[in-house]
Amino acid sequence: MGILSHDDWSLDRRGERAKARHREKVRQAIRENLRDIITDQGVIVSDGKKTIRIPVQSLDEPHFIYDFGRNRHIGQGAGQKGEAIGKAYGDGQPGAAGGEGAGTAPGSRILEVEVTIEEVEAALFAELRLPNLRDKHTPRHWVEQPEFTDVRQRGIRANIDRRLTLKQALLRSRMHGQPLRITEEDLRFKTWEDTPRQNAGAVVIAMMDVSGSMGMTEKYLARSFFHWMERFLEHHYQHVEVRYLVHHVEAYETSKDAFYSTRESGGTLCSSVLRLALEIIRRDYPQDAWNIYPMYVGDGDNLFSDNDLALAKMRELCDLSAMSGYLEVNPYHRVTSLSRVFASLLHPAFRQTSVADRRQILDALKHFFSERPAAAATGDSAAPANGGMAG
Protein backbone atom coordinates (compact mmCIF):
# COMPACT_ATOMS: atom_id res chain seq x y z
CA MET A 1 0.00 0.00 0.00
CA GLY A 2 1.42 3.33 -1.05
CA ILE A 3 1.61 6.35 1.24
CA LEU A 4 0.50 9.67 -0.21
CA SER A 5 2.33 12.62 1.33
CA HIS A 6 2.86 16.26 0.49
CA ASP A 7 4.83 19.15 1.87
CA ASP A 8 2.93 21.61 4.04
CA TRP A 9 3.72 25.08 2.76
CA SER A 10 1.25 26.85 5.06
CA LEU A 11 3.99 27.86 7.50
CA ASP A 12 5.96 29.45 4.69
CA ARG A 13 2.91 31.43 3.52
CA ARG A 14 2.19 32.44 7.10
CA GLY A 15 5.70 33.83 7.41
CA GLU A 16 5.27 35.90 4.25
CA ARG A 17 1.99 37.27 5.53
CA ALA A 18 3.62 38.19 8.85
CA LYS A 19 6.46 39.91 6.99
CA ALA A 20 3.97 41.89 4.90
CA ARG A 21 2.08 42.89 8.04
CA HIS A 22 5.33 44.03 9.64
CA ARG A 23 6.26 46.14 6.61
CA GLU A 24 2.84 47.77 6.67
CA LYS A 25 3.23 48.46 10.41
CA VAL A 26 6.56 50.16 9.72
CA ARG A 27 5.04 52.27 6.94
CA GLN A 28 2.19 53.21 9.26
CA ALA A 29 4.65 54.18 12.00
CA ILE A 30 6.54 56.39 9.53
CA ARG A 31 3.32 58.12 8.52
CA GLU A 32 2.32 58.66 12.15
CA ASN A 33 5.72 60.13 13.09
CA LEU A 34 6.33 61.99 9.83
CA ARG A 35 5.74 65.47 11.25
CA ASP A 36 8.52 65.00 13.79
CA ILE A 37 10.89 63.07 11.54
CA ILE A 38 11.12 65.61 8.72
CA THR A 39 12.00 68.47 11.08
CA ASP A 40 14.65 66.57 13.04
CA GLN A 41 17.89 68.53 12.78
CA GLY A 42 19.94 65.36 12.43
CA VAL A 43 17.91 64.30 9.41
CA ILE A 44 18.08 67.69 7.70
CA VAL A 45 21.88 67.98 7.93
CA SER A 46 22.52 64.30 7.12
CA ASP A 47 23.98 63.06 3.85
CA GLY A 48 20.92 60.93 3.09
CA LYS A 49 22.46 57.72 4.51
CA LYS A 50 21.24 58.19 8.07
CA THR A 51 18.85 55.70 9.67
CA ILE A 52 16.11 56.72 12.09
CA ARG A 53 14.65 54.76 14.99
CA ILE A 54 10.88 54.91 15.35
CA PRO A 55 8.52 53.04 17.71
CA VAL A 56 6.44 50.22 16.20
CA GLN A 57 3.78 48.23 18.03
CA SER A 58 4.84 44.61 18.48
CA LEU A 59 3.17 42.11 16.16
CA ASP A 60 1.80 38.85 17.56
CA GLU A 61 -0.13 36.09 15.87
CA PRO A 62 -3.83 36.13 16.87
CA HIS A 63 -4.32 33.92 19.93
CA PHE A 64 -6.46 33.55 23.05
CA ILE A 65 -5.16 35.20 26.21
CA TYR A 66 -5.97 34.53 29.83
CA ASP A 67 -8.24 37.05 31.56
CA PHE A 68 -5.88 38.43 34.16
CA GLY A 69 -8.72 40.47 35.60
CA ARG A 70 -10.51 37.22 36.54
CA ASN A 71 -13.86 38.94 36.28
CA ARG A 72 -17.11 37.22 35.53
CA HIS A 73 -18.50 37.86 32.08
CA ILE A 74 -21.62 37.15 30.06
CA GLY A 75 -22.13 33.42 29.63
CA GLN A 76 -20.43 32.40 32.89
CA GLY A 77 -23.44 31.24 34.87
CA ALA A 78 -26.39 33.01 36.43
CA GLY A 79 -25.91 36.62 37.30
CA GLN A 80 -27.44 38.87 39.92
CA LYS A 81 -29.35 42.06 39.18
CA GLY A 82 -26.96 45.02 39.26
CA GLU A 83 -23.87 42.84 39.14
CA ALA A 84 -20.97 44.17 37.07
CA ILE A 85 -20.17 41.71 34.30
CA GLY A 86 -16.54 42.55 33.78
CA LYS A 87 -14.42 45.50 32.84
CA ALA A 88 -11.73 45.77 30.24
CA TYR A 89 -8.41 44.69 31.65
CA GLY A 90 -6.42 47.74 32.61
CA ASP A 91 -9.42 49.79 33.78
CA GLY A 92 -8.45 50.48 37.35
CA GLN A 93 -6.31 47.33 37.60
CA PRO A 94 -3.04 47.56 39.49
CA GLY A 95 -0.17 48.33 37.20
CA ALA A 96 -2.37 49.50 34.33
CA ALA A 97 -1.97 52.88 32.66
CA GLY A 98 -3.41 55.47 35.03
CA GLY A 99 -3.58 52.99 37.92
CA GLU A 100 -2.03 53.47 41.32
CA GLY A 101 1.06 51.76 42.65
CA ALA A 102 3.84 49.85 40.95
CA GLY A 103 1.55 46.99 39.89
CA THR A 104 2.27 43.52 38.58
CA ALA A 105 0.34 43.58 35.27
CA PRO A 106 2.29 42.96 32.04
CA GLY A 107 2.54 45.78 29.52
CA SER A 108 2.30 45.83 25.74
CA ARG A 109 5.50 45.59 23.74
CA ILE A 110 6.64 48.51 21.63
CA LEU A 111 9.75 47.93 19.55
CA GLU A 112 12.05 50.47 17.93
CA VAL A 113 12.97 49.75 14.34
CA GLU A 114 15.46 51.48 12.08
CA VAL A 115 14.20 53.03 8.86
CA THR A 116 16.22 54.71 6.15
CA ILE A 117 15.89 58.22 4.76
CA GLU A 118 14.63 56.65 1.51
CA GLU A 119 11.69 55.08 3.35
CA VAL A 120 10.87 58.40 4.98
CA GLU A 121 11.04 60.17 1.63
CA ALA A 122 8.79 57.58 0.00
CA ALA A 123 6.11 58.29 2.61
CA LEU A 124 6.54 62.06 2.41
CA PHE A 125 6.66 62.37 -1.37
CA ALA A 126 3.81 59.99 -2.14
CA GLU A 127 1.23 62.78 -2.44
CA LEU A 128 3.43 65.69 -3.55
CA ARG A 129 3.45 66.97 -7.12
CA LEU A 130 4.75 70.03 -8.89
CA PRO A 131 1.49 71.88 -9.58
CA ASN A 132 0.51 72.80 -13.13
CA LEU A 133 3.50 71.02 -14.69
CA ARG A 134 3.26 71.28 -18.47
CA ASP A 135 5.17 69.46 -21.19
CA LYS A 136 7.52 72.24 -22.25
CA HIS A 137 10.55 71.19 -24.22
CA THR A 138 13.54 72.91 -22.70
CA PRO A 139 16.42 73.20 -25.19
CA ARG A 140 19.15 72.45 -22.63
CA HIS A 141 17.39 69.40 -21.14
CA TRP A 142 17.73 66.18 -23.09
CA VAL A 143 17.15 62.71 -21.64
CA GLU A 144 18.84 59.57 -22.95
CA GLN A 145 16.14 56.90 -23.27
CA PRO A 146 16.84 53.36 -24.54
CA GLU A 147 14.92 52.20 -27.59
CA PHE A 148 14.98 48.68 -29.08
CA THR A 149 15.87 49.32 -32.70
CA ASP A 150 17.29 46.07 -34.13
CA VAL A 151 17.34 42.25 -33.81
CA ARG A 152 20.59 40.25 -33.97
CA GLN A 153 21.74 36.64 -33.66
CA ARG A 154 24.10 37.41 -30.79
CA GLY A 155 23.38 39.06 -27.48
CA ILE A 156 22.72 38.54 -23.80
CA ARG A 157 20.07 36.07 -22.68
CA ALA A 158 18.01 38.73 -20.92
CA ASN A 159 17.30 40.38 -24.31
CA ILE A 160 15.99 37.31 -26.16
CA ASP A 161 13.07 38.16 -28.42
CA ARG A 162 10.86 35.15 -27.68
CA ARG A 163 8.36 35.79 -30.45
CA LEU A 164 10.98 36.05 -33.21
CA THR A 165 12.97 33.14 -31.77
CA LEU A 166 9.91 30.87 -31.84
CA LYS A 167 9.03 32.06 -35.34
CA GLN A 168 12.54 31.27 -36.57
CA ALA A 169 12.42 27.80 -34.99
CA LEU A 170 9.05 27.05 -36.66
CA LEU A 171 10.35 28.13 -40.08
CA ARG A 172 13.49 26.02 -39.79
CA SER A 173 11.56 22.95 -38.53
CA ARG A 174 9.08 23.08 -41.41
CA MET A 175 11.78 23.60 -44.02
CA HIS A 176 13.68 20.51 -42.85
CA GLY A 177 10.65 18.41 -41.83
CA GLN A 178 11.86 18.16 -38.27
CA PRO A 179 9.94 18.35 -34.98
CA LEU A 180 9.90 21.73 -33.33
CA ARG A 181 13.05 22.30 -31.33
CA ILE A 182 14.73 25.59 -30.53
CA THR A 183 18.46 25.58 -31.21
CA GLU A 184 21.18 28.15 -30.75
CA GLU A 185 20.91 29.29 -34.37
CA ASP A 186 17.22 30.14 -33.83
CA LEU A 187 17.87 32.62 -31.03
CA ARG A 188 17.18 36.27 -31.79
CA PHE A 189 18.26 39.12 -29.49
CA LYS A 190 16.88 42.62 -29.22
CA THR A 191 19.39 45.46 -29.29
CA TRP A 192 18.88 49.06 -28.29
CA GLU A 193 20.29 52.51 -28.75
CA ASP A 194 20.16 55.46 -26.38
CA THR A 195 18.00 58.04 -28.11
CA PRO A 196 18.08 61.64 -26.85
CA ARG A 197 14.65 63.12 -26.13
CA GLN A 198 13.61 66.51 -24.88
CA ASN A 199 12.21 66.57 -21.36
CA ALA A 200 9.95 69.04 -19.54
CA GLY A 201 12.00 71.57 -17.57
CA ALA A 202 11.16 73.22 -14.27
CA VAL A 203 12.96 75.91 -12.31
CA VAL A 204 12.40 76.88 -8.69
CA ILE A 205 13.37 80.36 -7.56
CA ALA A 206 14.04 79.91 -3.83
CA MET A 207 13.87 83.27 -2.03
CA MET A 208 14.44 83.86 1.69
CA ASP A 209 14.46 86.82 4.04
CA VAL A 210 17.75 86.94 5.98
CA SER A 211 17.24 90.34 7.60
CA GLY A 212 17.61 91.08 11.31
CA SER A 213 13.95 90.25 12.05
CA MET A 214 14.49 86.62 11.06
CA GLY A 215 15.41 84.89 14.31
CA MET A 216 16.82 81.40 14.87
CA THR A 217 13.37 79.78 15.01
CA GLU A 218 12.24 81.42 11.79
CA LYS A 219 15.39 80.42 9.94
CA TYR A 220 15.14 76.85 11.21
CA LEU A 221 11.58 76.55 9.90
CA ALA A 222 12.57 78.10 6.57
CA ARG A 223 15.54 75.76 6.24
CA SER A 224 13.40 72.71 7.04
CA PHE A 225 10.88 73.67 4.36
CA PHE A 226 13.44 74.37 1.64
CA HIS A 227 15.41 71.20 2.47
CA TRP A 228 12.44 68.90 1.87
CA MET A 229 11.31 70.92 -1.12
CA GLU A 230 14.68 70.26 -2.76
CA ARG A 231 14.68 66.57 -1.79
CA PHE A 232 11.21 66.22 -3.30
CA LEU A 233 12.23 67.85 -6.56
CA GLU A 234 15.39 65.74 -6.86
CA HIS A 235 13.38 62.60 -6.09
CA HIS A 236 10.63 63.08 -8.68
CA TYR A 237 12.16 65.11 -11.50
CA GLN A 238 15.44 64.58 -13.30
CA HIS A 239 15.82 68.11 -14.58
CA VAL A 240 14.88 70.81 -12.10
CA GLU A 241 17.03 73.90 -11.64
CA VAL A 242 17.05 75.80 -8.34
CA ARG A 243 18.21 79.39 -8.02
CA TYR A 244 18.91 80.72 -4.52
CA LEU A 245 18.15 84.35 -3.66
CA VAL A 246 18.39 86.06 -0.26
CA HIS A 247 17.63 89.61 0.78
CA HIS A 248 17.46 92.22 3.49
CA VAL A 249 17.21 95.75 2.08
CA GLU A 250 19.12 94.50 -0.97
CA ALA A 251 18.81 91.15 -2.75
CA TYR A 252 21.48 88.97 -4.30
CA GLU A 253 21.93 85.44 -5.63
CA THR A 254 23.98 82.96 -3.63
CA SER A 255 25.07 79.31 -3.58
CA LYS A 256 23.10 76.51 -1.98
CA ASP A 257 25.44 76.21 1.01
CA ALA A 258 25.50 79.95 1.62
CA PHE A 259 21.72 80.10 1.23
CA TYR A 260 21.27 77.92 4.32
CA SER A 261 24.02 79.48 6.42
CA THR A 262 23.70 83.22 5.68
CA ARG A 263 22.80 85.43 8.66
CA GLU A 264 22.64 89.18 8.23
CA SER A 265 21.22 92.25 9.92
CA GLY A 266 19.43 95.25 8.50
CA GLY A 267 15.94 96.11 7.41
CA THR A 268 13.54 94.36 5.05
CA LEU A 269 12.53 95.26 1.50
CA CYS A 270 10.60 92.32 0.07
CA SER A 271 10.28 93.92 -3.36
CA SER A 272 14.07 93.74 -3.84
CA VAL A 273 14.17 89.95 -4.02
CA LEU A 274 10.97 89.74 -6.10
CA ARG A 275 12.47 92.21 -8.58
CA LEU A 276 15.67 90.13 -8.81
CA ALA A 277 13.62 86.97 -9.40
CA LEU A 278 11.79 88.67 -12.28
CA GLU A 279 15.11 89.72 -13.84
CA ILE A 280 16.49 86.16 -13.67
CA ILE A 281 13.32 84.61 -15.11
CA ARG A 282 13.11 87.06 -18.01
CA ARG A 283 16.80 86.64 -18.78
CA ASP A 284 17.27 82.86 -18.37
CA TYR A 285 13.88 81.10 -18.35
CA PRO A 286 11.43 81.97 -21.13
CA GLN A 287 7.86 81.18 -20.14
CA ASP A 288 7.16 79.06 -23.22
CA ALA A 289 10.03 76.68 -22.38
CA TRP A 290 9.99 76.43 -18.58
CA ASN A 291 7.65 75.60 -15.73
CA ILE A 292 8.56 78.34 -13.25
CA TYR A 293 7.99 78.11 -9.48
CA PRO A 294 9.07 81.16 -7.41
CA MET A 295 8.93 80.40 -3.66
CA TYR A 296 9.41 83.12 -1.04
CA VAL A 297 9.86 82.44 2.69
CA GLY A 298 9.90 85.22 5.27
CA ASP A 299 8.60 86.26 8.67
CA GLY A 300 6.02 88.71 7.30
CA ASP A 301 7.87 91.89 8.24
CA ASN A 302 8.36 94.48 5.51
CA LEU A 303 8.84 98.22 5.24
CA PHE A 304 5.34 99.68 5.06
CA SER A 305 6.15 101.92 2.11
CA ASP A 306 7.35 98.86 0.14
CA ASN A 307 4.15 96.82 0.45
CA ASP A 308 2.43 98.08 -2.71
CA LEU A 309 5.54 97.52 -4.81
CA ALA A 310 5.99 94.02 -3.34
CA LEU A 311 2.39 93.16 -4.23
CA ALA A 312 2.88 94.40 -7.79
CA LYS A 313 6.08 92.35 -8.24
CA MET A 314 4.45 89.22 -6.83
CA ARG A 315 1.58 89.67 -9.29
CA GLU A 316 4.10 89.89 -12.15
CA LEU A 317 5.73 86.67 -10.93
CA CYS A 318 2.33 84.96 -10.91
CA ASP A 319 1.75 85.97 -14.52
CA LEU A 320 5.01 84.28 -15.54
CA SER A 321 4.88 81.18 -13.35
CA ALA A 322 3.00 77.93 -12.99
CA MET A 323 2.78 78.57 -9.25
CA SER A 324 4.11 81.34 -7.02
CA GLY A 325 4.23 80.70 -3.28
CA TYR A 326 4.66 82.65 -0.07
CA LEU A 327 5.37 80.77 3.17
CA GLU A 328 5.28 82.88 6.31
CA VAL A 329 7.18 81.56 9.33
CA ASN A 330 5.30 83.10 12.22
CA PRO A 331 5.96 81.28 15.53
CA TYR A 332 4.35 84.04 17.60
CA HIS A 333 1.10 84.26 15.60
CA ARG A 334 1.60 87.93 14.87
CA VAL A 335 -0.53 89.88 12.41
CA THR A 336 2.04 90.84 9.77
CA SER A 337 2.01 93.36 6.97
CA LEU A 338 2.90 90.92 4.17
CA SER A 339 0.16 88.45 5.13
CA ARG A 340 -2.42 91.22 4.81
CA VAL A 341 -0.96 92.55 1.56
CA PHE A 342 -0.65 89.17 -0.18
CA ALA A 343 -4.11 88.08 1.02
CA SER A 344 -5.54 90.55 -1.50
CA LEU A 345 -3.72 88.84 -4.39
CA LEU A 346 -6.46 86.76 -6.02
CA HIS A 347 -4.45 85.03 -8.72
CA PRO A 348 -4.94 81.37 -9.73
CA ALA A 349 -1.17 80.78 -9.70
CA PHE A 350 -0.64 82.16 -6.19
CA ARG A 351 -0.55 80.07 -3.00
CA GLN A 352 0.08 81.30 0.50
CA THR A 353 0.13 79.80 3.98
CA SER A 354 1.97 80.12 7.28
CA VAL A 355 3.61 77.86 9.85
CA ALA A 356 3.99 78.50 13.56
CA ASP A 357 6.03 75.44 14.56
CA ARG A 358 7.96 72.61 12.99
CA ARG A 359 5.05 70.14 13.02
CA GLN A 360 3.27 72.30 10.43
CA ILE A 361 6.04 71.98 7.83
CA LEU A 362 4.35 68.84 6.48
CA ASP A 363 1.08 70.72 5.96
CA ALA A 364 2.92 73.51 4.16
CA LEU A 365 4.60 71.08 1.77
CA LYS A 366 1.26 69.49 0.94
CA HIS A 367 -0.29 72.93 0.48
CA PHE A 368 2.22 74.10 -2.11
CA PHE A 369 3.18 70.88 -3.86
CA SER A 370 -0.13 69.41 -4.93
CA GLU A 371 -2.40 69.74 -7.95
CA ARG A 372 -4.82 71.67 -5.76
CA PRO A 373 -3.90 73.74 -2.70
CA ALA A 374 -4.59 71.95 0.57
CA ALA A 375 -5.93 73.56 3.72
CA ALA A 376 -3.65 76.15 5.23
CA ALA A 377 -1.10 75.00 7.76
CA THR A 378 -2.44 77.41 10.34
CA GLY A 379 -4.44 75.44 12.82
CA ASP A 380 -7.32 77.84 13.45
CA SER A 381 -8.60 78.59 9.97
CA ALA A 382 -8.60 77.05 6.54
CA ALA A 383 -7.05 78.65 3.50
CA PRO A 384 -9.24 80.57 1.08
CA ALA A 385 -10.07 78.95 -2.22
CA ASN A 386 -7.18 80.61 -4.07
CA GLY A 387 -4.64 79.31 -1.56
CA GLY A 388 -4.29 82.66 0.22
CA MET A 389 -4.13 83.00 3.99
CA ALA A 390 -6.91 84.72 5.83
CA GLY A 391 -5.67 88.08 7.00
Intra-chain end-to-end CA distance of the chain, in Å: 89
Q: Is residue 327 within 8 Å of residue 295, measured between CB atoms?
A: yes
Q: How confident is the model at residue 272 (pLDDT cuts 50, 70, 90)?
A: very high
Residues whose CB is less than 8 angstroms from the CB of residue 134 and which lie 6 or more positions away in sequence, other chains included = 200, 291, 322
User: How much is the mean pLDDT over the chain?
Assistant: 75
Q: How confident is the model at residue 31 (pLDDT cuts 50, 70, 90)?
A: confident
> Which is nearest to 349 in space by CA: 374, 329, 321, 316?
321
pLDDT in tens, 97-125: 445 556 555 555 555 666 677 777 777 77
Q: Among 27-36, 108-117, 237-246, 334-343, which stretch is predicted with the lowest mean pLDDT?
A: 108-117
Amino acid type, 316: E
Quote the pTM value. 0.63
Average pLDDT value for residue range 222-238: 81
pLDDT in tens, 35-76: 777 777 666 655 555 565 665 555 555 556 655 555 555 555
pLDDT in tens, 282-309: 999 988 888 899 999 999 989 999 999 9
pLDDT for 232: 83
Q: How confident is the model at residue 190 (pLDDT cuts 50, 70, 90)?
A: confident
Higher pLDDT, 133 or 48: 133
| The pLDDT of residue 138 is above 80 | no
pLDDT in tens, 303-319: 999 999 999 999 999 99
Q: Among 195-199, 259-263, 318-322, which stretch is predicted with the lowest mean pLDDT?
A: 195-199
| The pLDDT of residue 215 is above 80 | no
| The pLDDT of residue 159 is above 90 | no
Higher pLDDT, 248 or 263: 248
Q: Is residue 151 within 8 Å of residue 164, measured between CB atoms?
A: yes
Higher pLDDT, 216 or 51: 216
Q: Which domains does the chain have, with CATH numbers?
A: 12-60+109-125 (no CATH), 144-198 (no CATH), 201-368 (3.40.50.410)
pLDDT for 136: 63
Question: Which of 214-218, 253-257, 313-317 is most confident?
Answer: 313-317
pLDDT in tens, 345-366: 999 999 999 999 888 988 999 8
> Which is nearest to 131 in space by CA: 317, 292, 371?
371
Give the helix ranges, DSSP H, for the chain: 10-37, 41-44, 117-125, 162-176, 216-236, 256-261, 270-284, 307-320, 337-343, 361-368
Q: Is residue 231 within 8 Å of residue 121, measured between CB atoms?
A: yes
pLDDT for 183: 84
| CA-to-CA separations, 7 to 10, 13, 322, in angstroms, rounded | 9, 13, 61
Q: How confident is the model at residue 148 (pLDDT cuts 50, 70, 90)?
A: low
pLDDT for 251: 93
Q: How confident is the model at residue 12 (pLDDT cuts 50, 70, 90)?
A: low
Q: Is residue 345 within 8 Å of residue 17, measured between CB atoms?
A: no
Q: How confident is the model at residue 273 (pLDDT cuts 50, 70, 90)?
A: very high
pLDDT for 24: 75
pLDDT for 274: 96
Q: How confident is the model at residue 381 (pLDDT cuts 50, 70, 90)?
A: very low
pLDDT for 216: 81
pLDDT in tens, 74-100: 555 666 676 665 555 544 444 444 455
